[in-house]
Amino acid sequence: MSKRPGWRRAAALLCLTLGSVCAHYRVQAPGAAGVGATEPQGEVLWSLGWGLVQERPRVDNCEDQALAEVTQSTNVGFALISVLTLGLAMPQRVEWRCAKAQPTPGDLGVR
């Protein structure tokens, strides 16, 4: 009875590869505006029907502040969903950080 020594090695390599497959895209404002003042917030958004229906992120933690950084990422599970549905459903993780509040000019009280 012959053993297949390469089978276990191939299975381990496949598991390591699939477990580490992901992609990240980050957009950050230049200079001081890109320094985030908040902890990252995020959610999984879905694009349906080849992009005809897209979920919009609910960025309600920034109030009147601008966004300092936005990161979009996907992983092997999300890619598998996209492939199995032939692109009808495409999930992705979106995270954002709010910029520091800008000081408003005002009266210093000097007369």
Question: pLDDT, tens digit, for every residue of 18-32?
Answer: 666 677 788 887 877
46 pLDDT more than 90: yes
Q: Decide if 26 is inside a domain.
A: yes
**63 within domain boundaries:** yes
pLDDT for 110 beyond 70: no
Give the domain range for residue 65.
22-98
| pLDDT for the residue 107 | 64
The 41-48 sheet, strands edge to edge: 22-28, 67-75, 89-98, 41-48, 53-54
Instruction: Give a yes or no: residue 103 inside a domain.
Output: no
pTM above 0.85, yes or no: no
pLDDT tens column, 90-108: 999 999 988 887 777 776 6
Q: What angle do CA 83, 73, 87 make, to 5 degrees?
A: 20
- Establish if 80 belongs to a structural domain: yes
Examine residue 9 and state whether it is found in any structural domain, yes or no: no
Q: How many domains does the chain have?
A: 1
Residue 16 lies in a domain: no
Give the per-residue pLDDT at 42. 93
